[in-house]
A and B are shown apart, each in its own frame.
Chain A
Amino acid sequence: MPEHFARGLRIVGHRVSNGIWRLGFATRFFVTILARSALSFRRFRGLTFREIYFAGVLSLIIIIVSGLFVGMVLGLQGYETLQKFGSSEAVGTLVALSLTRELGPVVSALLFASRAGSAMTAEIGLMKATEQISAMEMMAVDPIARVIGPRFWGGVLSMPLLAAMFSAVGVFGGYLIAVVVIGVDEGAFWSQMQNSVDFRQDIVNGVIKSVVFGVAVTAIALFEGYDAPPTAEGVSGATTRTVVTSSLAILGLDFVLTAFMFKGI
């Protein structure tokens, strides 16, 4: 029994120390990206703009379709609940606040992690496995500045734009269901929304959330790719870890940010 206990303890200890090592590496990696970001802005059009296209523009379809459906579901559920209290006109408020404060930043970040984050991890992992990263280093080109930095800033800048797009399309989806299909008064739908959504409290906080999620998802995706063992199995494992870790980070950060932003309401 003591032997089993000692073995179990060793395994737990190994995992904990391994996790701390990885966290340390990830932190150093993140700081290195920030320190070597000058090239991403000096050659914004040539490098970072391209990454905004790959991370942002190519994610638009999934963001728009998901936003539309989420908004439509909110419209249906909101109307169903609010009409019991005789305030079905407030469905516009419910849809807009849910999207700008929570669902817009969170769901778009989750979608971004699974679509663009996993692609970034796989791309960097494969570049490492096929020695493209080493080749770049041997050509005296810093891969952190040339490859990682533009992808990081491309992801960070794309995320709030995608979240805004998600929320806008979601509001349109809520409008389609509540006003066009169910017949809620259009004037009440929009005016209630306009009166209750505060730019600083709701929109700006939503944007801050999406920027934080963008930083977290992109940094995790790039670190996992850069740290992936240079094998097919290593890259596949890193891609999975990107999606799992990013999703957990988004949900955890969302709670912390919400607690700070809306605690007085």
Chain B
Amino acid sequence: MENLVEIKDVNFAYDVRPVLKGINMSMARGRIVAIMGLSGCGKTTLLRMIGGALRPVTGTVTVAGHVMNELGQDALYGMRRKMGMLYQFGALFTDLSAFENVAFQIREHTELPEAMIQDLVLMKLNAVGLRGAQHMMPAELSGGMARRVALARAIALDPMLIMYDEPFTGLDPISMGVISNLVRRLNDALGATSIVVTHDVQESLKIVDYVYFMADGVVVAQGTPEEIRNSRAPFVHQFVWGEMDGPMPFHYPGAPYRADLELGVAGA
């Protein structure tokens, strides 16, 4: 199957602190790919790089045949019109209603008549089950509803690539199940490709086709959800099954416990 996204030998650093070290990944069209790892391992940085918001120090990020890190602003914006992104907490425009949030991109990029915009927005809101909440402002929406409106906004222009930055964070189990189902259903209905950056293992393994595991800026494991569940790699095993101790130690490195308590020290 043809790859929509290809990441080759990507290195990136914030100032002198390396964040991504020689990353190679590929995402086939029509698939949902998860990028998992601990906080700060470079997942979101990689997602921003795919969207062209950051440029790698070395290496290439290619989307639909275009090298994102070589595009000028107009070409980059042209590519972004074919992408949708769901942010961790929705990032809805707080001065616009749910309807206007979804309509925003359509109004900015098309000359469609108002009646058609109305129909399109209602279809998108209906797809996430929130047609009835079209007049509500972001402050009136629950966390799960805000995430669903943001999802409707992300698919407003029927993107070829949908990116999700921690879509399950802070959601109750029902909302989490709704969002994860929508990720799968919308990807299949739109014929899109999705990239889900998450550390919510159990929920994402139910819906994704392929998983990349990252730690300290490198890919430490990859495979289908089944392969990941059965992985014997210590880090992956600890991460998937939420074990307290393992390659990621429970205790933050420090002086020996006995020394800190001054046990066995003369005169203590």
Q: Binary interface profile of B, 90-103, with partner A (CB < 8 Å = 1, else 0)?
A: 01111000000000
Please tell me if A141 contacts chain B, counting CB pairs below 8 Å. yes
Which residues of A, 125-182, contact B by the 8 Å Cβ criterion? Answer: 126-127, 130-132, 134-135, 137-142, 146
- Residue of B with least CB distance to A147: B93
Secondary structure at chain A's binding surface: helix, strand, loop or mixed?
Answer: helix
- Residue of A with least CB distance to B74: A140
B160 CB to closest chain A CB (Å) equals: 14
Q: Which residues of chain B have C-beta atoms less than 8 A from A139's C-beta?
A: 80-81, 104-105, 108
Query: Contact at A132–B80, with CB atoms within 8 Å?
Result: no
Query: Contact at B89–A131, with CB atoms within 8 Å?
Result: yes
Q: Which residues of chain B have C-beta atoms less than 8 A from A146's C-beta?
A: 108
How far is A32 from B170 in the complex, measured between Cα atoms in Å? 38
12 new A-B contacts at CB < 8 Å, known A131-B91, A139-B81 = A130-B89, A130-B91, A131-B87, A132-B94, A135-B93, A137-B53, A138-B85, A139-B104, A140-B80, A141-B105, A141-B109, A142-B77
How far is A130 from B81 in the complex, measured between Cα atoms in Å? 21
A225 CB to closest chain B CB (Å) equals: 14
- Residue of B with least CB distance to A39: B108
A26 CB to closest chain B CB (Å) equals: 21
Which residues of A, 22-43, contact B by the 8 Å Cβ criterion? Answer: none
Which residues of B, 156-195, contact A by the 8 Å Cβ criterion? Answer: none
Q: Which residues of chain B have C-beta atoms less than 8 A from A138's C-beta?
A: 51, 53, 80, 83, 85
Which residues of B, 90-141, contact A by the 8 Å Cβ criterion? Answer: 91-94, 104-105, 108-109
How far is A239 from B250 in the complex, measured between Cα atoms in Å? 41
Query: Contact at B80–A135, with CB atoms within 8 Å?
Result: no
How far is A156 from B104 in the complex, measured between Cα atoms in Å? 26
Please tell me if B78 contacts chain A, counting CB pairs below 8 Å. yes
How far is A63 from B104 in the complex, measured between Cα atoms in Å? 34
- Residue of A with least CB distance to B108: A141
Option from A126, A135, A140 in Cβ contact (under 8 Å) with B87: A135
Q: Binary interface profile of A, 109-126, with partner B (CB < 8 Å = 1, else 0)?
A: 000000000000000001
| With A138-B51, A140-B77 as contacts: A132 and B91 at CB distance below 8 Å | yes
A152 CB to closest chain B CB (Å) equals: 17
Q: Which residues of chain A have C-beta atoms less than 8 A from B85's C-beta?
A: 135, 138
Q: Binary interface profile of A, 241-256, with partner B (CB < 8 Å = 1, else 0)?
A: 0000000000000000
A116 CB to closest chain B CB (Å) equals: 16
Q: Binary interface profile of A, 70-92, with partner B (CB < 8 Å = 1, else 0)?
A: 00000000000000000000000
A-B contact pairs, 27 of them (CB 8 A): A126-B94, A130-B91, A130-B94, A131-B88, A131-B89, A132-B92, A132-B93, A132-B94, A134-B53, A134-B87, A134-B91, A135-B91, A138-B53, A138-B80, A138-B83, A138-B85, A139-B80, A139-B81, A139-B104, A140-B77, A140-B78, A140-B81, A140-B105, A140-B108, A140-B109, A141-B109, A146-B108
Q: Binary interface profile of B, 54-93, with partner A (CB < 8 Å = 1, else 0)?
A: 0000000000000000000000111011010101110111
B64 CB to closest chain A CB (Å) equals: 15
A140 CB to closest chain B CB (Å) equals: 4
How far is A144 from B109 in the complex, measured between Cα atoms in Å? 16
Q: Which residues of chain B have C-beta atoms less than 8 A from A130's C-beta?
A: 89, 91, 94
How far is A134 from B89 in the complex, measured between Cα atoms in Å? 12
